Homo-oligomer: A and B are copies of this chain.
Amino acid sequence: MRPLFHPAIEDIQPQAILHALSDPRRAVIFARIRSAGCVEACSALSAMGDQIIPKSSLSSHFKVLREAGLIHCERHGVEMRNRSRCAEVESRFPGLLAAIMSAYASSIDASACGTGE
């Protein structure tokens, strides 16, 4: 297994962040890591509502988030320790993550009102 690549803060591109978070499942994964501060394992995030994300898909979602500079991943024995890089991203692109995550939160609220989900 090749070592995990994490971009330097100055190499983080807005398009990579937007692309990473334009997938609602990745946005949910990131929101959980962000709010938890530190989420122990990737597999802890495989349950997405009533469906399960396959391991291989989950792994590639984490790779996209990692290479976009949104999360930092570190091996701890057999499992992965994931933490968000919010503070770094915030210092480089002020307000970006907060605006994106609150947009998602408000659209979930709106759809919950309408459809009863």
Q: Which residues of A come within 8 Å of B, CB atoms?
A: 10, 13-15, 17-19, 21-24, 27, 92-96, 98-100, 102-104, 106-107, 110
CA distance A108 to B78 in the complex (A): 40
Q: In the complex, what residues of B have CB within 8 A of residue A19's CB?
A: 18-19, 22
Q: How many protomers of this protein does the assembly include? A: 2
Cβ contact within 8 Å between B98 and A103: no
Cβ of A20 to closest chain B Cβ, rounded Å: 8
Extra inter-chain contacts (9) besides given A17-B103, A94-B102, A99-B100, CB under 8 Å: A14-B103, A15-B23, A15-B24, A15-B27, A22-B22, A93-B106, A94-B99, A95-B98, A96-B100
